[in-house]
Structure 1
Amino acid sequence: MNPKFSTVDTIDLDLEGFKGELFPVSTNQESKAVLIAVGGLKDKKVLRPMARYFNEKNIAVLIVYFYGGGMLQLNQNLIPIEYVEAAVSHLRDAGYHRIGITGLSKGAEYALLSASKIADIEVVLAFSPSHCVWEGEISSDGLFKTRASGEAGFSWRNKPLPFLNYSFSATKMLKVSLLQREMTCEKVFREAINKSNNYADIAVENIGGDVFLFSAERDTIFPSSDASQRIVERLENNKFDHDYKSYVYKYASHVLLPIYIKGQKLLFKVERQYPDECKKMREKLNADIEGVLNGWNAKN
C-alpha cells in the first residue's frame, strides 16, 4: 500500500530556521529520517515521488528547500548550511534519532557540505555530486538570464566558503544544447576543475557517517563520475573510518534517480537511445540504494 500524504507537516522558515516538508511514516520503529536537500520550490512533482520512495522503505522524509523564492532567497547564492543544522535539530526534537541526507546535483553538493559540518548525520547518499563548492548563481528573470554571482554558493556561520569560479552563460548553454540535441554544460565545469588547485574541495573526511556516491558515466551536465573519484581519493588519503563507495552507471543521465522523471528523454540522448538499458539501470540503482539502506539498518 502506498503511503498517504495527509499528515505532511509544512515547516516555515521564520519559525524553525528552515523551509521544509515532513513526510512521516507510522511504521518507523527505529526513528529514522532522511533529509532531501533541494533548491527550487517548483520541484514537487519530483520530490513527492522521492518522498514516497523512502516512505515505502519505512523511512521518514524531511525535504529541505534551500532557495527558490517564497520566504527563501530567490537565488542559489550564499545559502546557509544552517538550514540543514536547523532541520536536524527539528528532527531530533520530533523523536528522530537516526538521520541521513541525500540530494541530486546541487542538492548533493549541499548534502555533502552539510554533512561535513554537522556531526549528527549518519549516512550521505549523493547523486550526481560535486567534490567542491561552486560559485553561486543569480537569475534576474528565469534560467536564460542566469549568471555566475561572483560569490560562494554556500556559507557557514555567516562566512562565505571558498569556491570555484566558472564561466556560465545560460544562452551559450542553450545554443550548445540545441546543437548537441541534449542538455549539456559539462565542459564548462570540467575546464574550471582542471584550472583549480583543490582550495574549494569539500572536507568530506570530516563527515561523521557513511558516504555513498552515485554518478552517470555519460553525465552531460557535470563531470560527476570524476567528482566522485576525487571524493573517494580524498577519503582514502585521509584514512576515512566510515564506509564509503562510488557507484557509476553506464546508461544514465545527470538526473540519476531510482524513479523515471517525465521529460528525461527530451533532455538527454542516453535516455532516448538506450531506453531499455536506462530502465535496467534504474532497477540496479534501486537495488544499490536498498543495499545502502540495509547496511544503515544493520548499524544499530
Structure 2
Amino acid sequence: MNFKNLKLFLLIISTFILSTLSSPIISKRTNINEIKNLVNTKLFINNNLNNNNKANIEDFIDDLKDVFQNGMVNYIKLEQIFSDLFNITIVDPIENLIDSTNHKTFSVKKDGFYGELFEPENNRFPGKALILCTGSDGDFNMVRSLSKGLSNNGITVLGLGYFKVKGTPNVLTRIPLEYVEKAAKYLKSEGFEKIGMWGFSAGSVYALLSGVYFSDLLSLIVASSPGNYVFQGLGTLSFTQKKSAFSYKGKDIPYEPIGKIDVLKLIYLMIRDLEPNFLHVYEPGVTGASENHFIPVEKMKARLLIFSGEMDHCWPSDKASKAIMKRLKEKNYSYPYEHISCPYGGHVMTPFPTAMDIITKASRDYPEEEKKYRKQHLEKLLEAFEEW
C-alpha cells in the first residue's frame, strides 16, 4: 500500500473513522471481529479485492499479535510491519557507518555494565562525556547509531545497553540503576570530569532516575520523550508481575501499579491510528500517580534538557514534560532546565534518523518538520555541552 492509495482509503472511510474516534472503544473489551472489520475497512479496500482478502486480514492480525508476544512490544518486528504497509525501506545511514569492533566494549561480567565507548576523532569537549541509552525497544543497534552520530559531532559517548543484551534482564523489569553508576565511575577513572546522560522514552525514565540517585556523578541529563513517574512492568503489556521497573542495590524503586492490558484493544488502536497508541494506559499517572511514584527530579544536581513532541501518541511525553517543568519550578530547582516542545513531533525525538521513525505518523506525515526538530535537538545538545 502506498501513500496515494492510503489517502483514497481514508477518504472513503472518513465517516467510519470519525464515528470510531468518538466511540467508547477504550471503555470496553475489544473483540477479534471488531479488529477484522477495522482492518477490512481501513487497510484492504482496493480495486483488486478478491477471495484471499479474509486470509490477508487474518495474517495481518496474526503479525500484530506477534508484536506483543510474551508481554513485550517487539519494536523491530513492528518497524518491519509498518515498512511493508507503507512500502518504505528502513535505512539508517548512521548505523551503516558503524564498525563496532573499533570501539572499546564493556560487559556486565567484567565491568559491571554493558556498553561501547565512541570516542570522536575531533574531540570538541575534552573532559566531558555522555552516557546514552534508548527506550523499550531494547535495540542496541539504535544505541550505536545515535552514539556514532554524536561522536561524529565531537562528543565522547558511552552507549549503554541496560536490558536485552548479554548479562542484563531480558525484559524491561527490575533494571539495576547500578549499570549507570558503574559506567559513570569508569568515565571518571578515565579523567572525564563532567558526565551527562541522554535517554529516550523509557530510557529517559532511567536517565532521570539515575540523575536523582547518582547526583554527584551526573551533572547533565537529557530526556527525550520522557515519562515523569515510575510504573510497574515498564515496557511490558501483561503487567502480571508484582515487580517494579527499576531497582537500586537490590531494592525496588517505588512504582505506580498498572492493571492488565487488553492486547486486542492495543491492536485495534494501532490499526485505527496507524501507529502505536498507549496514551490511555499511561496518561492517568502523569498527574494522578502517588507522590512517591513520581520521579523526584528536584533531587538532581544537573542541567536538564527535555525534548517532546505534541503528536506523541505512544505515551504522553509532552504532558509528562510539562509536569516535570512544573515540579521543578515549584521545588525551586536551582540548576538550568529547559523543555523544547515540538508541535509536529512524534515519539521518536532524536537528533538523527532511526529505524523506529517509520512507526509514527508524525515522522511519516511531517518529514520536513522532523528534520528541523532533529537539527534543533543536536544544536541544543551541543550548546549545552559548550555551556556545561
Scaled to the shorter chain, the TM-score interval is 0.7 to 0.9
Partner of 1:207: 300
Q: CA deviation at 1:11?
A: 0.5
Classify 1:191/1:89 alpha carbon distance in 2 versus 1 (closer, same or farther; 3 Å): same
Quick one: distance in 1 between partners of 2:140 and 2:235?
22
Quick one: distance in 1 between partners of 2:376 and 2:127?
27
**1:135 match: secondary structure:** coil
Contact 1:37 1:65 in 2 (8 A): yes
Could you list the runs of 5+ residues in structure 1 that have no partner in the other structure?
140-144
Partner of 1:61: 157
Q: Which moved more, 1:99-108 or 1:129-138?
A: 129-138
- Decide which of 283, 288, 292 is 1:190's aligned counterpart: 283
Tell me whether 1:258 sits opposite 2:258 in the alignment: no
Normalised to the residue count of structure 2, the TM-score between the two structures is: 0.69
- Decide which of 344, 363, 377 is 1:271's aligned counterpart: 363
Partner of 1:151: 243
Q: Which moved more, 1:115-124 or 1:162-171?
A: 162-171
TM-align CA RMSD: 2.3
Classify 1:205/1:192 alpha carbon distance in 2 versus 1 (closer, same or farther; 3 Å): closer
Higher helix share: 2
- Decide which of 124, 128, 135 is 2:221's aligned counterpart: 124
Q: CA deviation at 1:6?
A: 5.0
Q: Kindly provide the amino acid, as one letter, of the partner of residue 126 in structure 1.
A: A
Q: Equivalences for 1:224-239 in 2 at 5 Å?
A: 224-239=317-332
Q: CA deviation at 1:227?
A: 0.8
Q: Kindly provide the amino acid, as one letter, of the partner of residue 218 in structure 2.
A: I
- Decide which of 117, 120, 123 is 1:25's aligned counterpart: 120
Quick one: distance in 2 between partners of 1:5 and 1:162?
36
Q: CA deviation at 1:92?
A: 1.2
Quick one: distance in 1 between partners of 2:221 and 2:194?
12
Partner of 1:142: none
Contact 2:199 2:206 in 1 (8 A): yes
Q: CA deviation at 1:121?
A: 0.7
Classify 1:3/1:39 alpha carbon distance in 2 versus 1 (closer, same or farther; 3 Å): closer
Quick one: distance in 2 between partners of 1:115 and 1:42?
21
Q: Kindly provide the amino acid, as one letter, of the partner of residue 136 in structure 1.
A: G
- Decide which of 163, 176, 191 is 2:255's aligned counterpart: 163
Quick one: distance in 2 between partners of 1:15 and 1:45?
22
Tell me whether 1:94 sits opposite 2:190 in the alignment: yes
Q: CA deviation at 1:114?
A: 0.4
Work out the number of aligned pairs and report it.
Answer: 289
Q: CA deviation at 1:274?
A: 2.1
Q: Kindly provide the amino acid, as one letter, of the partner of residue 315 in structure 2.
A: F
- Decide which of 73, 77, 87 is 2:173's aligned counterpart: 77
**Partner deviation per Cα, 1:185-217 (whole Å, 9 max, x = no partner):** 112101344542332011111111101111111
Q: CA deviation at 1:260?
A: 1.8
Q: Kindly provide the amino acid, as one letter, of the partner of residue 113 in structure 2.
A: F
Q: CA deviation at 1:124?
A: 0.5
Quick one: distance in 2 between partners of 1:45 and 1:257?
14
**1:215 match: secondary structure:** strand
Contact 2:129 2:157 in 1 (8 A): yes
Q: Which moved more, 1:83-92 or 1:189-198?
A: 189-198
Q: CA deviation at 1:22?
A: 1.1
**2:345 match: secondary structure:** coil
Contact 1:252 1:270 in 2 (8 A): yes
Q: Which moved more, 1:79-88 or 1:162-171?
A: 162-171
Partner of 2:211: 115
How much identity, in percent, do the aligned residues show? 26
Q: Which moved more, 1:177-186 or 1:283-292?
A: 283-292
Q: CA deviation at 1:19?
A: 1.2
Classify 1:193/1:150 alpha carbon distance in 2 versus 1 (closer, same or farther; 3 Å): farther
Quick one: distance in 2 between partners of 1:130 and 1:289?
20
Normalised to the residue count of structure 1, the TM-score between the two structures is: 0.88
Quick one: distance in 1 between partners of 2:315 and 2:240?
16
Quick one: distance in 1 between partners of 2:183 and 2:232?
24
Q: Kindly provide the amino acid, as one letter, of the partner of residue 11 in structure 1.
A: F
Contact 1:39 1:67 in 2 (8 A): no
